[in-house]
Amino acid sequence: MESLFSKKDLKQMTKEKTYTCLECGLFKDAKNPRMKVTGKGKKRILNIGGFMPDTDDFQNKRWQSKAGKLLKLEYKKLGIDIENDCWNYNATQCYSPKANGFSITCCRRKVKEVIKKYKPHIIMAFGEEAIESLLGNKLKDFSSNIDKWRGFQAPDREYKAFVCPVFHPEMTVKNSRGRDKYVLLDDLQEEYSTIWRQDLNNALKCLDRKFPKNQDYEEQVQIITDLRILENIKEGLVAFDYETTGLKPYAKGHRIISASVCDGANCYAFMMPKLYKERESFLNILTNYKYYISSHNFSFEKMWTEHRLLVKIANEFWDSQLAAHILDNRRGITGLKFQSYVELGLEDYSSHIDTYIKASDGKSSNSHNRILELVDMDKHSLLLYNGLDSLAGYKLTEIQMNKMGVSI
Ligand code: SF4
């Protein structure tokens, strides 16, 4: 089945405009403009700092501020020499008091070139400017909020490195005068400082981790028309996911358009057949206790299963959204897309079809989305997206079970 959106098209659609130093202009204010990478990188750690500080520009050397010295000290305690073991770079390579978000966008090209050239194993993203630089053009609905990102070690597919966001050692303190007062972490409450050290420590554990192979998740989704192939799944953990005409199944005309099933070895995506006989192999999985059923936001799939397929799921084993919340109760991190990136390195895979699958009337849970238009136009993209959801759900479930010490 041909897709309207080829891989090349998708890359093109998400490709951002690149800017030159002339358009950026920060180099005009710097004493040492376009500072090169420093450090020998013996342990293949690339540290990305925020905007170039005036101290570093003045001395033509990175990490010269008080905060930089604090980082060097902390690294030393963890057995890392910042000059020998790391490469060092910034979100912007020229000091200027005018540095802003646009400067980060302009300088992102340079950051990516450095990653391509040096091939780090770990990329430490110190603070929001570094996060913006590394991820700002990759993920939909992106926010560089450090409280959300800190502590993860994302196996990034593009960079082929673990991206590890942590607090910047020099944190801005929100106070009545705005974000212009700087204090060292050591001056903040002990708890804050402890988190920073703990995140650094955890990130460095990636030195002992191999970068995951076989991250070509799209290739793993099989689009099927005859559901009897599902009978090859004999037992065990199975993740599933639906694409539907809306949020709730109750109003007239709503239906499940497609579904996907993943058992770890295979991931199948298919249009939901109209006849019971043709759905039977799928329903057998949901209604049999030998399958441990998982879904991301289980209540959604459960509601649609009961009201539209008229069966009850036998073994409601795992909700990977709920488990994500139990493992880490920060706000805004339990969505499948965010979890897919931070745990699997699977970046935005749905923005090209979002307008068709999101509710058209956000105020009414009974409203119909535009999924049927997408079915007419590009069934393949819908099924691929649907398949990736259950594939990501399965892999997340496995990771979470491992973290929680749960087995089947
Ligand atoms: S900050 Fe980066 S993009 Fe801007 S002028 Fe300096 S090197 Fe060029």
DSSP characters over 234-301 = -SEEEEEEEEESSS-S-STT--EEEEEEE-SS-EEEEEPPSSHHHHHHHHHHHT-TTEEEEETTHHHH
The CATH number of the structural domain formed by 217-404 is: 3.30.420.10
pLDDT score, position 172:
36
CA 200 to centroid of ligand 1, rounded, Å: 28
Place of tokens 């199975």: 238
Beta-ladder partners of 271: 258
What confidence score (pLDDT) does residue 94 get?
A: 98
What is residue 181's predicted lDDT score, i.e. its pLDDT?
45
Ligand 1 pocket test, candidate residues 17, 34, 98, most atoms within 8 A of CB: 34
What is the pLDDT at residue 188?
Answer: 54
Q: Which helix (H) or strand (E) holds 321?
A: helix 320-327
Q: Any idea what DSSP says for residue 87?
A: E
Count of Cβ atoms closer than 10 Å to residue 227 Cβ: 23
**pLDDT value of residue 269:** 98
Ligand 1 centre to CA of 355 (Å) is 35
Asked, colleague to colleague, whether 17-208 and 217-404 share their fold, the answer is: no
Model pTM greater than 0.75? yes
What pLDDT is attached to residue 350?
80
pLDDT of residue 322: 98
pLDDT of 2 reads 47
Contact 372/244 with Cβ under 8 angstroms? no
pLDDT at 177: 38
Query: How far is 255 from 212, CA to CA, in rounded Å?
Result: 37
Ligand 1 environment, Cβ below 6 A: 21, 24, 26-27, 33-34, 92-94, 103, 106-107, 110
Per-residue confidence (pLDDT) for residue 170, from 0 to 100: 77
Kindly list the domain boundaries of the chain, sorted by start residue: 17-208, 217-404
Which ligand 1 atom sits closest to the C-alpha of 52? 1
CATH, domain range 17-208? 3.40.470.10
**Ligand 1 closest atom vs CA 110:** 2
State which of 21, 105, 108 you would mutate to test the pocket of ligand 1, scoring each by most atoms of that ligand within 8 A of its C-beta: 21
3-state percent breakdown (helix, strand, coil) of the chain, nearest 5: 45, 15, 40
Q: Which two tokens stand for residue 319?
A: 């909700």
Backbone angles phi, psi at 386, to 5 degrees: -60, -45
Q: Could you tell which of 54, 60, 62, 93 is best to mutate to test the pocket of ligand 1, judged by most ligand atoms within 8 Å of the CB?
A: 93
What does the pLDDT profile of the chain (408 residues) look like in tens digits?
A: 445 455 545 454 445 788 999 999 999 999 999 999 999 999 999 999 999 999 999 999 999 998 898 899 999 999 999 999 999 999 999 999 999 999 999 999 999 999 999 999 999 999 999 999 999 988 878 899 999 999 999 999 999 999 999 999 876 333 333 444 444 444 555 667 788 889 999 999 999 999 998 778 999 999 999 999 999 999 999 999 999 999 999 988 899 999 999 999 999 999 999 999 999 999 999 999 999 999 999 999 999 999 999 999 999 999 999 999 999 999 999 999 999 999 999 988 887 888 888 876 666 778 889 999 999 999 999 999 999 999 999 999 999 999 999 999
Pairing of strands 316-319, 291-295: parallel
Taking CA atoms only, the protein residue closest to ligand 1 atom 2 is 107
Residue of 35, 90, 107, 111 with the most ligand 1 atoms within 8 Å of its CB, for mutation: 107
Helices (H), 119-236: 128-135, 146-149, 190-204, 217-220
Give residues with Cβ within 8 angstroms of 405, minimum separation 6. none
Cβ atoms within 10 Å of 75's Cβ, excluding its own: 21
Residue with the smallest CA separation from ligand 1 atom 6 is 94
pLDDT value at position 182? 47
Contact between 384 and 352 under an 8 Å Cβ cutoff? The reply is no
What is d(CA 112, CA 78) in angstroms, rounded to the nearest whole number?
A: 27
